A = this chain, B = another copy of it.
Amino acid sequence: MADEPATDILDATYRALCEHGYANLTLRDIAAETDKSKASIHYYYDSKDELFVAFLDELYEQFTDRVGTHDGDTARERLETLFQVLLTTDADSSRREFRTAMLELKAQAPYNPPLRERLIEFDEFLFEQLREILSAGVHAGEFDGSVDPARHAEFLTTAITGAQTRHVVIDHSSARLYGTMTGYLERQLLADENSEVAQ
- Supposing A107-B107, A151-B183, A154-B180 touch, asked if A163 and B166 sit within 8 A by C-beta, the answer is no
**A111 part of interface (Cβ distance < 8 Å):** yes
Which of A2-10, A34-42, A116-124 lies at the interface? A116-124
Residue A109 is within 8 A (CB to CB) of chain B in the complex: yes
The interface size of chain A toward B, counting residues with CB under 8 Å, comes to 40
Q: Which chain B residues border A187 with CB–CB below 8 Å?
A: 188
**Cβ contacts under 8 Å, A163 to chain B:** 158, 162
Question: Is A111 within 8 A of B21, CB to CB?
Answer: yes
Q: Take A160-B162, A163-B158, A180-B155 as given contacts and tell me if A169 and B100 are in contact as well, using a CB distance cutoff of 8 Å.
A: no
- In chain A, residues 20-43, which have Cβ atoms closer than 8 Å to a Cβ of chain B? 21-23
Expressed in whole angstroms, the Cα–Cα distance for A184 and B107 within the complex equals 27
Contact with B along A102-127 (1 / 0, CB 8 A): 01101111110000100110010000
B180, A158: Cβ atoms closer than 8 Å: yes
Number of copies: 2
Q: Identify which of residues 89-103 in chain A touch chain B, using a CB-to-CB cut-off of 8 Å.
A: 100, 103
> Which of B108, B111, B158 contacts A162, CB < 8 Å?
B158
Chain B proximity mask over A47-90: 1 for CB below 8 Å, otherwise 0: 00000000000000000000000000000000000000000000
Among A106, A171, A184, the one with the most B-chain Cβ atoms within 10 Å of its Cβ is A106
If A162-B159, A169-B119 touch, whether A107 touches B109 (CB-CB below 8 Å) is: no
Cα A183 to Cα B22 in complex, Å, equals 36
Task: Point out the residues of chain B lying under 8 angstroms from A123, CB to CB.
Answer: 166, 169-170
A155 contacts B168, C-beta separation under 8 Å: no
Residues of B within 8 A of A104 (CB): 23, 104, 107-108
Q: Is A184 in contact with B155, judged by CB distance below 8 angstroms?
A: yes
- Knowing that A106-B168, A110-B169 are A-B contacts, what are 4 other residue pairs whose CB atoms are under 8 Å apart, sorted by A's residue number? A23-B107, A155-B159, A155-B183, A158-B177
